[in-house]
Amino acid sequence: MQQVSNPFQAIKDIFVKPNQVFATIEDTPNWSWIPFLCIAIVGAWPIYLYFNFVDFSWYTELLVQSISADLSPNEQNMVRNSMTDQAQSLWTGVFGSILAVIIANAILALYLNIATKADEECVQGFTDWYGFSWWVSVPAIVASGIAAIIVLLASDTQLSPNSLSPTSLAFIFNIDLASTWSSLAQSIRLESFWVMYLISVGLNQWTQLSTKKIYLIAIVPYILIWAIWGLFILL
Q: Which residues of 109-138 are buried (b: 16+ CB within 10 A; e: fewer)?
A: beebbebbeebeebebeeebbbbbbbbbbb
* pLDDT of 203 higher than 70: yes
Least confident of 42-46, 79-83, 108-112: 79-83
What does R_g of the chain's alpha carbons equal in angstroms?
20
Read off the pLDDT of residues 37-50 as tens digits, 9 standing for 90 and up: 999 999 999 999 99
What pLDDT, on a 0 to 100 scale, did the predictor assign at position 65?
81
What pLDDT, on a 0 to 100 scale, did the predictor assign at position 206?
95
What pLDDT, on a 0 to 100 scale, did the predictor assign at position 61?
87
Alpha helices in 68-210 (DSSP H): 73-81, 86-115, 126-136, 139-153, 169-172, 182-187, 190-206
Least confident of 15-19, 85-89, 136-140, 145-149: 85-89
Instruction: Tell me the average pLDDT of the chain.
Output: 92
DSSP string, 167-187: TBHHHHTT--TTSTTHHHHHH
Q: What φ, ψ does residue 168 adopt, rounded to 5°?
A: -85, 160
Least confident of 17-26, 80-89, 127-136, 188-197: 80-89
Read off the pLDDT of residues 146-200 as tens digits, 9 standing for 90 and up: 999 999 999 999 999 999 999 999 999 999 988 999 999 999 999 999 999 999 9
Largest CA distance in the chain: 65
pTM for the predicted model, two decimal places: 0.92
**25: helix, coil or strand?**
helix
Distance CA 132, CA 106 (A): 10
Contact 126, 109 (CB under 8 A): yes
* pLDDT of 9 higher than 80: yes
* pLDDT of 1 higher than 70: no
* pLDDT of 83 higher than 80: no
DSSP string, 40-68: HHHHHHHHHHHHTTS-HHHHHHHHHHHHS
Please, which pLDDT band fits residue 29 given cuts at 50, 70 and 90? confident
What pLDDT, on a 0 to 100 scale, did the predictor assign at position 136?
98
Average pLDDT rounded to a whole number, residues 99-123: 94
What pLDDT, on a 0 to 100 scale, did the predictor assign at position 69?
65
Please, which pLDDT band fits residue 2 given cuts at 50, 70 and 90? low
**189: helix, coil or strand?**
strand
What pLDDT, on a 0 to 100 scale, did the predictor assign at position 63?
85
